[in-house]
Structure 1
Amino acid sequence: MGNSYRVALAGNPNTGKSTLFNALTGLRQHTGNWAGKTVSLAQGNVQHKDKTFNLIDLPGTYSLFSNSSDEEVARNYIVFEKPDVTVVVLDATSLERNFNLALQVLEMTKNVIICINLIDVAEKQGININERILTNRLGVPVIKISARNKKGFPMLLDTIDRIVTGAIECQPVQTTYPDEIEEKIKKIEPKVSELIENQLSARWVSLRLLDGDENLLNEINKRFGQKERAQ
């Protein structure tokens, strides 16, 4: 709507995601609960150039497999509400552990920024992160920041701006699974595409169905069933 865009913040607990949210939005934020959930919802605005970015601070989770209310809320927002950009906040000192969530998000949606926080702490520990190599390998922008010191904020906001205006086109890397799983994906993906009418990533939905994700199937039936009944 106009020059307003929705930006979701996702990340593991204790990565500084909420610190980033608070630093960007300041007093321009409000909290509540997600509809039908006791999970807290925080939203806030940040002005950049001629645009308003509405930031949604998703619950901190280690995965998006809907094993808990927090995971379900975060997963459903990214998949069904389709924010204009999803920023995945990682802890620079624990990248290997944090990348599990990041790779899940890259399978779910296209417009993603990997935001590596606590870079000042990592550098003190002798950890060197080459964001250019990561950008090339992941197919999406990788930005290094320190939310506590507000370091890297101009680059992050400019990158969000360039994605929503189409100046940057994200091409997220596709995780390749063992041949047996890839064959099953190919078999059911066309049927999944018919079911979801290209509204979601058919490959990602196929993966979740192969994993027996009944919660996702119920959510798809509920949301797409509502559309059919409304027509």
Structure 2
Amino acid sequence: MGDVCHTCTACGITKARSLRTQYNVHKNSENDLVIALAGNPNVGKSTIFNTLTGLRQHTGNWPGKTVTQAQGNFQHRGRNFILVDLPGTYSLLSNSLDEEVARDFICFGQPDATIVVVDATCLARNLNLVLQVLEITPKAVLSVNLMDEAKSKGIHVDLDTLSRKLGVPVVGTTARTGAGLDELKEKVFQIAHGYEETKPISVVYDPEVDEVVQQLLPKVRPLLYGLNLNPYWVAMRLLDGDESFLQSLTRYTQRGELWQEGDMALCPQ
């Protein structure tokens, strides 16, 4: 993962400023925890957001975007959590404005944890986004929602096995009744504070691709100072020629310009 300074307050100050100016996320206290809420469309993500935050929410647009932004608050164990509802997306590969917004917040907003909501009735279809989030950050909790519908259809989801395979906490939820949401809040609390260790599953790439990525890593790591980002994933995005990500890296960190056109000589044509 990216190198994060633990010996001074500069990283925390930069993070707070970025949240406020780039994303309109305002922390009332340095103890507030920021949580991203991600998921495919139509998985009950908005219901989870509304149930957790109640009337303690407001909507607007993401700065400079036409994409709606929803934020809310909930409390757990005496701590205030700011829940940021990301646009519903099927991936984080920036093929649309919604995907770009969701990707950038998880990467550069540096949330204290990310909840990924999936549909228990069609779990396999949702796992693409889950794996992409886990490539970016280990601080994630999986909410397997619509468990009541899965049960009515005779679908059994082995949550313990899923958690063991993915390497992150997995909670079964039924958002419309509130079932499982207390456990979800507790898992988010544990992950956000670093009380529970996660070991996300690693995506294995072709050896030839991996060889090129290993060559790129020395150039990538300096770009990520102060960011808790997986340098391997960043190298993959640059290797893929993702101009949108490079622009975001430059915009949010002022370091993307260190990646020169000549660096692409390492990339296969």
**Interval of TM-score (by shorter of Structure 1 and Structure 2):** over 0.9
Contact 1:3 1:50 in 2 (8 A): no
Residue 49 of structure 1 aligns with which residue?
77
1:97 aligns with 2:94: no
1:4-43 to structure 2, matched below 5 A, reads: 4-43=32-71
Q: CA, structure 1 residues 3+223, in 2 after alignment: closer, same or farther (shift >3 Å)?
A: closer
Contact 1:4 1:53 in 2 (8 A): yes
CA apart distance, 1:194: 2.2
Q: Equivalent of 1:136, from 160, 164, 186?
A: 164
Residue 208 of structure 1 aligns with which residue?
237
Q: Secondary structure at the match of 1:100?
A: helix
Residue 116 of structure 1 aligns with which residue?
144
Q: Secondary structure at the match of 1:151?
A: coil
CA apart distance, 1:197: 2.6
Residue 134 of structure 2 aligns with which residue?
106
Q: Secondary structure at the match of 1:180?
A: helix
Residue 87 of structure 2 aligns with which residue?
59
Q: Secondary structure at the match of 2:121?
A: coil
CA apart distance, 1:124: 1.1
More deviation in 4-13 or 185-194? 185-194
| Unpaired stretches in structure 1, ≥5 consecutive residues | none
Residue 81 of structure 1 aligns with which residue?
109
Q: In 1, Cα distance between the equivalents of 2:52 and 2:251?
A: 35
CA apart distance, 1:225: 2.1
Q: Secondary structure at the match of 1:93?
A: helix
Paired amino acid for 2:247 = N
Q: In 2, Cα distance between the equivalents of 1:111 and 1:180?
A: 29
Q: In 2, Cα distance between the equivalents of 1:227 and 1:194?
A: 10
| Unpaired stretches in structure 2, ≥5 consecutive residues | 1-28, 258-269
With a CA cutoff of 8 Å and minimum separation of 6, indicate the structure with the bigger relative contact order: 2
CA apart distance, 1:198: 5.8
TM-score, normalised via structure 2 length: 0.81
RMSD between superposed Cα atoms in Å: 1.5
Residue 250 of structure 2 aligns with which residue?
221
Q: Secondary structure at the match of 1:95?
A: helix
More deviation in 188-197 or 18-27? 188-197
